[in-house]
Structure formats: C-alpha cells, structure tokens
A and B are shown apart, each in its own frame.
Chain A
Amino acid sequence: MTKRQITVGQLFATLFISRMITNITYSSTISSSNSIWDQIISSGVAFILTFFMIIPVYLICNKRESMNIADMSYFLIGKIGIIFVFIYAVYYIFICIYSLSLFNNFVTNVMDPNISIILMSIAVMITASYAAFKGIEALVRASGFILFLIILAGIFIIISLFPQINALNYEPLMYDGNQDVVKGVILMLSTTSCIPAMAMLIPLAKGKVKKGIVLWNVAIYASIAVFIFAIVGTLGDYVKTQLFPVYTASMIAGIGFLKNLDSLYLGIWTTGLFIKVSLFLLLFSMCIKRVFGDLAGRISIFIGAFFVVVISVLANSTQYFNGYIYNINFLFGFTLLTSIIIPLILLIVDFIKSRRRKESEKVKL
C-alpha cells in the first residue's frame, strides 16, 4: 500500500519532462521514415490513441485506494502477480537503457567522440541513483524547477527558429502515401513510457488525475507538433542528413547576438535525461521493494544502475545490441504490454472476482 505523497501537478510535470527528452531526439532515422513532416499528422493520431492507451491504467489505479499496479497484481492474482511485477521492473530498466544509450549515441556521434562513454554513463547513473535514492518527493520537486527551465529554453529556441522558417520546406502531406504517418504513430506510441510509469505513480498522487492526464497529453503532442513544424520549416531536406535534427535546429537558432543555442539544447537534454533515468530507476526499485522488501528495494537502485551502464555501453559498442535497443517494433510491443495488456488482464480478473463475490453474496442472502 502506498500513501499519497505528491501532487498531480508534480507527477505530470515529471512525466512531461521524461517525455520531452524523447521529443527532442525525434528524427526520421529512429522511425525509419522518409518524411518527418508527415509525422505531424502522426502526432494528432497518437494524441487520440494515447487517451485510449491510458484508460486501462487509469481504471486499475482507481480500483482501490493507494494500490499501484504491483500491489493490484498481488491482490488480484496472488503470488503469480510477481510475474507482472517483474515485467514492469524489466520495462523500467529497459527504458533507462534506451534513454542512456540514445544519449551516449548523441554525445559520441554529434558532440564529442573523444569523450569516454563509460565515464559519461557512470556519471549519469551515479546522479540518477542519488536522486532515486532520495525518493519520489525529492525527484518531483526537482522536476518543478527543471520543467520551468526546460519550458523557457524550449520557447526561446522555438521563437528564435520561427523567423528562419521557409514555407517552401513544407511539402504536401502524405505525398508518398501514409507509411510515414503510420511509422510515426508507432514511434510516438512506443516511446510513451510514461503510461507504464503512471501505473506505479498515480496512486501516489493527490489531486485531479483526469485533468492532469489531459493537460499532459495535450502538452506532449503539442510540443511534438511544434518541434516538427519548426525543424522542417528551418531545415527542410537537411533534416534527412541529421541524426538529431532538433539539435541541429538549435545550432542555427539565434536572436540578435544570442547565437549557438545548442548549449540550451544540451542543458535541456542532460537535465531531462537525469529526471527520466532517475524516475525509471526509482520505479524499478519500487517493483523490487514490492517483491523483496525495503532494503532490497534500496539496494536494487545501485544494481539496476550498474546494469544500465553495462548494457547501454555495450549497446553503443556493438551493432547486435544496437538492433535490439532501437527496434521500434520491440519497444512498441513492450509498451503495449505494460500499458494496455497487463492492466486489461487485471481489470478482467477484478471484474470476474467482483462478479463472483456479488453472486456468492446473493446466494448467502
């Protein structure tokens, strides 16, 4: 059982940040698509589909006061529920690995190939472990500050890009068919790791959850759409050559004497990455804590961090691992499993159990 420690505003601010750093790494390379411009339609479609994806998690978290998905698994299906808890634990660690390896990719390919990935990864994970160790309250409070900085930096970059937009860079939508739209939707939904995170965090939050979900969803997809609009308008076909087009766009952004805004982008990503990895490491430890107890939960933060470092460094070193980590279909399947399938199974079990309970009460009467 968990008690409500944070507000809904804090929760969704944290989730917004962790989604934002996925948005700023958006590229046609990751989605294996030709046109990033078509994915502005994907953002609209994904916006609607995300609402549907959240429903099972929202319902399961509202079933019983302060019970998260791990608690509900045990409550509804007994010790077999441990399987679900482990699936979530593995998912959270996977997201940490994905985020960190993407960051390492960026640093080594785009920023500074001479830097040591191992040192970088260790530094990020030490920071994240410290934050996860301090607990959810410290993390969400820090998110409040970081959200403010990220919004300011993001708005500044976007405003400085707008004068450089060339309308001719916007090609007709779905010119080559709808494959890019579909790929974009799959990419956006597969990287919506916040929904499985909500499964553990909604019971901790006090306030209007529905309002939070709506605002969060609107903010996420509005920001994706704005980013796509800005980078396509400024970069045009140059986007196709770039691994991280938002970073490239920030390089050319500038107002007056304020140029080279890529430093703002670096700041956004590094702080956002820190929040995301800390959050998912914390969620991982919450799963372990549920199964093995408080002490194991705290130790698992460091063990999880170690695994994240090892696997993300390996992922950047070998193509074999790289293929798995960045396989969108794999990520999509995993996200669907943790966002929809498992909560649906639990909802069905709960429904069956409550029906049986009502019937047995009727029989008694």
Chain B
Amino acid sequence: MLNFIKNLVELYENPHNKTVYKRKVEKMSDSLEKNIIYIKKEFDGSADLTIRQMKINETSMAIITIEGMINKQIFANSVLTPIVNCDFINKNSVEKYEYIRDHLLSTTEQVQVVTYDEVFSFIMSGFAVIAIDGCNCMLAIGVQGFNFRSVSEPTSEVMQRGSREGFVEPLRINMTLIRRRIKNPKLKFEMLKSGSVSNTDICLCYLTDIVSGEILQKIRSKLHKIDLGTILASGYVSPYLEEENDISFFSSVGMSERPDTVCGKIAEGRVAILIDGTPNVLIVPHLFIENFQNMDDYTTRPYFATLTRWLKYVAFFVATLLPGIYVATVTFNPELLPRELLVKIANSVASTPFPLVLETLIIHFIYEIMREAGLRLPKPLGHAVSIVGGLVIGDAAVSAGLIGAPTLMIVALTAISSYVIPNLYEPIAILRFIFIIIGGIMGVWGITLLFSIVLINICAKTNYGIPFSAPMSPFSAFGMRDVVVRMGWKTLAKKQNAVQTMPGSNINVNKE
C-alpha cells in the first residue's frame, strides 16, 4: 500500500516520465458477490483461481487463493480452523472482519488490501485473501507454499573457498540470504513493481549510511522508465540501468548469483537490484576492474590472489587480442615473428586451402557453435559433443589439411583464456572476431588502432557519475591495493572507500 502511494506521488511529481504500468486502482465494493464476480471476470475462468465460499454466523465469507501457491496445512491450521471454530455472536460484518484481523489468526504476516490490484498482486504472490460480505476491504494472509528450487551453489560462479549458497528465484528468499549476512538495521530493502503485464517485484537493496542518495535517485528514476510488458530475467532490466546513448560492448551493470559477492558490493555503497523470478542480482555502479575480481581473491592468501589476478589480466588480453595479432603478424608483419616459429606457421599456412584470416574466423565460429551446443545439450549427450569437437573437428580437420595446427592451438588457448573471466565472455567473443577481421585487413596497425578505440570506449563510459575505468584511470594509487595487487585484509581494512569516492567521480556521499 505504501509503495503504491509512493509510486502515485512520483508519478504526480514527474509527469513526463512514461507510465510504468497501468495499475488498477479500482476500489472494491462491500458486496462479496460483486467482488467475487469482478475477480472471476478478471481471471476469465482461469483454472488455478480458487474461491472457497463459506458462512460465519450467517455472514458470507470467501477465501481466494491461487492453486498450488499456498501451504494448505498452515492455512488450514492457522486460518481456517480458528475461523470455523470461532463464535462470532453479536458481531456485524465489519466487527467480524476486525475480530479476525486482530485476534483470531496465528499467522505472522497479514496485510489489509483495499483495491483489486492489491488482491491480485497478493494472491499471485502466494497469499490467501479473506473477503467478508459487508466489508469493502480484504485481508491478505501470508501462507506461501509454492515450490521453488532449493538454495544451492550457483553453477556459473564456482568458488573454491566461498560459501556454497546461491540466489534462487523467489525474491523473499534472496532477501533473507542477504539479510543473514549483513545484520545491520541500515540495510534497507525497497520494493518496486515493474512490467505492465507481469507486475514483477523488484527490490533495491542498499546500506542507507553508505549509499549515495544521488545514485539511488538515478536508479529509481531509471527503473520507473522501464516500459516493458514482462520482466522475466535480470537481463531485461540491465539495459535500462546503463547510461543513455552508451554504445559499448562492456556492461556497466554488474551481475552475480552469489549472496556473499552481492553483500560485499553493498558494503561498498553499491545498490543491489533483486528481481523476482531470477537468481541473477544486478549491481550498480559497476566498474570495469570488477570483472577481474571475485570472491576467491579475497579468501585466499594475498600473494596467490595477486597471481590469479594477473592471470586474469593476461588471459583477458590473450583471449581478445591473440587471434587478431596472430593473423596480423603472419599476413602483414612476419618479420616480427622468430624464425623457427615462422617456419612452422609457414608450413601450416601452405598446407591449408583458406587464407589465414578466413581460417581463423571459421574455426572460431565453429568453436562458438560447439560451445552453444554444449550449453543446450542434455548432460548425457555432453560426452558426444566433446568427442565430436575434439577428435572430429580438431584432429581430423588438421589431418585433412583444412585448418592448420597453429591456428587450432591459438583457438584453444583463446577459448581457455576467455573462461578465466566469465563475466567478460560476451564482449571478448565479439571483440575477438572484430580484431581478427581488422588484423586481416590492416595488420598490426589495425590491431593497435582498434585497441585504442576500445580503450577510448571504456574510458569514456561513466556510470552514475563514476568513471568506468576508475581507479586505473583516473589513477588512484590507493586504489591499486586491490587492482595491481591484492593486499592483505589488514591493509584493505584500514580504509574502506565507498564506490562514489572513486577518482574522477562527480557525486557526493549522501545519506539516504
């Protein structure tokens, strides 16, 4: 109710914003029959709508639920039994309603609803709604019992030493996963709804004493501009959180399935955006360097964490640039190659029918097909894919002279390197193709110029007033303690900066 009023106020204050969705603000009638007819009409005979009508001392009552969404045992024990066994003598409808609301039920969560929109929202969230004839309000009771996936380790972010919990689909469970880790009353969850058709719950999560009010306001404003009908995944929302007119391969919206990672980001003044129905939580503002940081860096010893950090940096350049540089040097600048390597590559190029640039593009394309197939295939068939990929495409193609062994080596190395930084797989995959094409057209010059373009693109990005390339550029020597090396926790703990204090940032730290 409170959120709804807030949204109405925002709409009034910002009339130029697009309407988020058309909400039904129609208030309900005090006639139970009219209410039931209205609800049934809205659901148009949907099979999962359950309305159980009964009488309590001659007063008609209805319990409205969605099939499969409530826990029937809790509902029977905590709601139905007390109502049935209660004596409502000398009470009118309103008094009966008030008695049920204030004295009778043994549930922990109940909300009074006055509009049909709210009724729909609650019953579709697993609540049971009690309607009494003669009352123009209803009581929504929290007896959720729908099935959901159990909390398990996320497959996309496997850590050696971090927790084994990952986010799940229901928003409320995810909120508890965060709350359990940050036991601080300053941790605030702010609920919104988005999607004109799906009415998806979105929750902003932040620490009120660290987060910047300016950033928060911008996020709210961007979320209110979402004009989608359905929101079924976090990927639907993330483009709306980026800066306008920002064309880049790199996203300035972070994503994670891990509660520990999200909590770490929240503690740095970032805002986590939880979306009901998806385990991926969005985090803003997100900086480029964060793609190379993960939980394991902070749980292992500093020297090893530094090594793995540098492995990731090298892997990023290898995955992005190596095929392009290979094509460019072999085609245009073979003098840059050592003699022994040049001989091997020359033999390989001589024995294959395609130009090197085409050969490299083809093999990368085939690799992407295999990767995509491997993702979609059922597990029992996974072995078949690896056999096809490894033996047939790899070995047989080389033996047949269709592709060269050095090219295959390059592709293999590139592929492995790109998995070291899974967050950047998408931009790396695309940039790799572009670098190959440019390397094949213009050689080392082209590679260098394209690299400069990508660099400018990264440096030109800002998100919520913070430069995307901070703290590397604008340079902060202090920030290097978690970029160039990973200092020990005793050093990191000495001074913890919020994200809005990054160099080059033009926002102020502001309490919510």
Contact = CB atoms under 8 A, between A and B. Distances in A.
Interface in A120-140: 120, 123-124, 127, 130-131, 134-135, 137-139
Nearest to A112: B332
- The secondary structure that dominates the A interface is helix
Contacts of A146: 452, 455
B459 to A, nearest CB: 4
Contacts of A119: 442
B469 interface: yes
B448 A139 contact: no
Contact of A262 (B336, B446, B449): B336
Interface in B430-465: 442-446, 448-453, 455-457, 459-460
A115 B442 CA distance: 8
Contacts of A10: 473-474
A356 interface: no
Interface in B402-424: none
A260 B469 contact: no
Contact of B445 (A134, A138, A145, A270): A270
Contacts of B249: none
Interface string B332-368: 1101101000000000000000000000000000000
A10 B475 CA distance: 9
Given A7-B474, A141-B473, A260 B335 contact: yes
A330 to B, nearest CB: 29
B456 A260 contact: no
Interface string B126-167: 000000000000000000000000000000000000000000
B463 to A, nearest CB: 14
Interface string B182-211: 000000000000000000000000000000
Contact of B455 (A7, A124, A142, A260): A142
Contacts of A9: 475
B360 to A, nearest CB: 19
Contacts of B100: none
A144 B449 contact: no
A9 B444 CA distance: 30
Interface in A132-173: 134-135, 137-139, 141-146
Given A144-B473, A145-B472, A266-B444, A135 B460 contact: yes
B467 interface: yes
Contacts of A275: 452
Interface in B100-127: none
B459 A141 contact: yes
A141 B503 CA distance: 11
A262 B504 CA distance: 35
Contacts of A137: 459-460, 467, 504
Nearest to B337: A260
Contact of B459 (A120, A123, A142): A142
Contact of A134 (B450, B460, B474): B460
A107 interface: yes
Contact of A107 (B445, B449, B453, B467): B445
A263 B444 contact: yes
Nearest to A263: B336
A260 B445 contact: no
A360 B445 CA distance: 62
Contacts of A266: 444-445, 448
Interface in B463-509: 467, 469, 472-475, 504
B430 to A, nearest CB: 17
A146 B336 CA distance: 21
Contact of B453 (A120, A130, A139, A141): A130
A333 interface: no
Contact of B449 (A115, A127, A138): A127
Give the one of A138, A262, A270, A274 with max B CB within 10 A.
A138
Interface string B37-80: 00000000000000000000000000000000000000000000
A260 B472 contact: no
A217 interface: no
Contacts of B459: 134, 137-139, 141-142, 145
A131 B460 CA distance: 9
Interface string A92-108: 00000000000000010
Interface of A: 7, 9-10, 107, 112, 115, 119-120, 123-124, 127, 130-131, 134-135, 137-139, 141-146, 257, 259-260, 262-263, 266-267, 270-271, 274-275, 278
Given A120-B442, A145-B472, A262-B335, 9 more contacts: A115-B443, A124-B449, A130-B453, A139-B459, A142-B473, A144-B473, A145-B459, A266-B444, A270-B445
Interface of B: 332-333, 335-336, 338, 442-446, 448-453, 455-457, 459-460, 467, 469, 472-475, 504
The 6 A-B residue pairs with the shortest CB-CB distance, nearest first, are A138-B460, A144-B473, A141-B459, A270-B448, A134-B460, A141-B473
14 contacts: A112-B332, A112-B333, A112-B443, A115-B445, A124-B449, A127-B452, A127-B453, A137-B467, A138-B460, A141-B459, A142-B452, A146-B452, A259-B338, A270-B448
